[in-house]
Structure 1
């Protein structure tokens, strides 16, 4: 992982369910393909698997500025806090233009009161080896790429966060996690 942040976004949404009824790690690793697609017009596919080491992985395909294929591996896996790290493929705008990015997806839940929870969804995109060289080959300044990525990421996070919260709320109210 490098220290060069390309874009980052934080969005929050209210869940009308108590914090004790929510399990974010179970939510993300049991999210079905159709549920994932329902949380953004730009979500194409979602599935889960295991790494060879036995860690859970969420595989997501979505369009956020470019076509993104993400392989989110659990880093922090708690009931009210989950952090996933992906060495992601970013493809486009030309089909042959493919680079690697590090995407960190972190989300948490905090009690507002006994029956209401705040959902915080944070996404950070960082450079991976070869990214800056790929920009240079295309004659694209880092600042231009970063600005475009920031715009796409902020819009995407603003759309998906309340829809993620709605899905979590529905499952929490159905006592999905005990």
Structure 2
């Protein structure tokens, strides 16, 4: 299992952010803007359960993830894609298990910390190959980049909501 967690500080109180709402309204354009490896995303609902399809390129591997929400609340969202497909070197299909967790923790009265954790499970024969390809390093770099991008998007949307409230 490859795991990495990155954090970013937001200069707004945690109470001003609803991660589940943010993810449910994330557009394809917003997703693509948050990291250079992000190719496409779409949010959908199965009844009352949030789902998401992501396509991203990380370290020479194209990943297609079909997520469903394990938990979706204001301060924590856990998305699980038990049957993602990774295309090693953009060619060889491999089954991949991906867990993606976003969480907010109050830091001060006026700031909070966004954490973004990614866990990638690979079949045993592939783990050795991904070690040679530097997959863990690529996932770490990608997670660091997308965390900063997600934080910027969350902050921009929180600012837009504050302006809209003030205009009422």
- TM-score class, shorter-chain normalisation, is 0.7 to 0.9
Unaligned runs of 5+ in 1: 136-141
Give TM-score, length-normalised by structure 2.
Answer: 0.88
Report the count of equivalent residues: 160
Superposed displacement of residue 175, structure 1? 2.4
Give TM-score, length-normalised by structure 1.
Answer: 0.83
**Aligned with 2:124 (options 128, 132, 138):** 132
1:121 to 2:116 alignment: yes
Superposed displacement of residue 126, structure 1? 1.0
Q: Which runs of 4+ in 1 moved over 3 A?
A: none
CA, structure 1 residues 143+78, in 2 after alignment: closer, same or farther (shift >3 Å)? same
User: Which of the pair is proportionally richer in helix?
Assistant: 2
**Aligned with 1:62 (options 39, 56, 63):** 56
Q: Give 1:151's aligned residue.
A: 137
**Aligned with 2:88 (options 83, 92, 95):** 92
CA RMSD after TM alignment: 1.8
Contact 1:21 1:175 in 2 (8 A): no
Unaligned runs of 5+ in 2: none
CA, structure 1 residues 164+146, in 2 after alignment: closer, same or farther (shift >3 Å)? same
